[in-house]
Amino acid sequence: MNTPSCGGPPGKSMNRRDRGKDIGGCAISGIMAENGELFSGELVMRSIANMRERANGLGGGYAAYGIYPQHKDHYALHVMYESGQDQQTTEQIIQQNCLIHEAEPIPTHPLHVIKQRPLLHRYFVTVKPEQLERYYDLSEDDIMANIVMTINTDVSGGFVFSSGKNMGIFKGVGYPEDIGQFFRVDEYDAYIWIAHGRYPTNTTGWWGGAHPFGLLEWSVVHNGEISSYGINRRYLANFGYYCTLQTDTEVIAYIFDLLLRKHDLPLEVACMAMAPPFWAEIERMAPEQRELARTIRTVYGGALLNGPFSVVVGHSTGMIGFNDRIKLRPMVAARHEDRLYIASEEAAITEICPKPDVTWHAQGGVPIVGKLKNGAEDSAVAQVAG
């Protein structure tokens, strides 16, 4: 079975949409219930739709945490295919390495404005015991990340675009509100939602290149431009991360996984590696701070992100927002009771939370951090089970 091309990058069989450089903004929005309360994706759809002028219909998407409590211990692989042959090839790789507990098409609601859609499937899997034994020096997460890299690198028309547990990414070519309707986002309940409306600048607009980008539990939406993409990409290749989706934001998801999961750095230190102080500022620091900042800049120079950016990152126990060190892209945050809101514009927050307890603008290079309270994730699962 063949389907129309969903528009992909060079080196893969999917055709990309050729165009000149567009200058414009992107829209990002994130909502987190720190008490683990589940709430409908309808809220984040309204928030991101409020910033429609920041997008141009070439990309939109969502990431949600807590949506698969019945499979909370299984990796949820969301995969897009250009053809049935690509699906067959990819499923052989998955079956060789994983136990498939459930597999199905991702539920969608067809819209006339969503064009040239790929085949979209999801698989709830665990790594086979024999693979865990064979790669005894790797964790299950390491093995799953390698499986994702293998599929995205070796299968000409197959891409894993979400691979975490009890979470999922839904994205494609279209305005974010249309992508939300297409994937029936309002029918899911989650304790963290992040969303993106894309206005591609230096990289092509296609289904796999839409935001969020994810690996394992990490998902990233980004407004701006990563001018250090080439350096970051080569640096990540040293650790087995390969960028195949032809959008600069992809490196951010992999850097978060490398620094926080594999190198076990504290969040503030990881963010310092990606958006460090200038050398002149470091020299003015107190001795202990100066030594840490020098070390981080020296050891993790390849992880430094250059260019204007604001980023919202989701993971299983929290949400993070941070800017480049001189704050060349907007980011506003707010809190109301147990909810944290982060967005490109204050209007996107007040659209869904008219009277927040406090509102503030992010500082350059200083992360905004939301964390689940003790027991909140278990509470989220219990809400569904009950």
Residue 21's pLDDT is 45
Mean pLDDT over 305-333 rounds to 94
pLDDT in tens, 42-53: 999 999 999 999
Residue 20 confidence class, pLDDT cut points 50, 70, 90: very low
Indicate yes or no: pTM above 0.75: yes
Pair of tokens at residue 281: 């500022």
Q: DSSP characters for 16-40? A: P----PPP---EEEEEEETT---EE
pLDDT at residue 101 above 90?
Answer: yes
Alpha-carbon distance of 147 to 163, in angstroms, equals 10
pLDDT in tens, 124-174: 999 999 999 999 999 999 999 999 999 999 999 999 999 999 999 999 999
Mean pLDDT value across the chain? 91
Q: Which of 139, 117, 81 is nearest to 92 (CA)?
A: 81
Residue 16's pLDDT is 43
Alpha-carbon distance of 211 to 169, in angstroms, equals 9
pLDDT in tens, 322-365: 999 888 899 999 999 999 999 999 999 999 999 999 999 999 88
Residue 198's pLDDT is 85
> Domain 27-385: which topology?
Glutamine Phosphoribosylpyrophosphate, subunit 1, domain 1 (3.60.20)
More confident residue, 201 or 161: 161
Picking from 67-76, 90-99, 238-247, which range would have the lowest pLDDT averaged per residue?
Answer: 238-247
Residue 300 confidence class, pLDDT cut points 50, 70, 90: very high
Residue 379's pLDDT is 58
Residue 377's pLDDT is 63
What percent of the chain is modeled with pLDDT above 70?
Answer: 90
Whether the Cβ atoms of residue 208 and residue 8 lie closer than 8 Å to each other = yes
Q: Which of 26, 98, 271, 353 is catalytic?
A: 26
Dihedral in degrees, nearest 10, Cα atoms 167, 169, 170, 176: 110
Residue 115's pLDDT is 84
Element (H, E) at 161: strand 158-162
pLDDT at residue 22 above 70?
Answer: no
* Residue 225 DSSP label: -
pLDDT in tens, 177-195: 999 999 999 999 999 999 9
Pair of tokens at residue 23: 């200058």
The answer to whether residue 26 is catalytic is yes
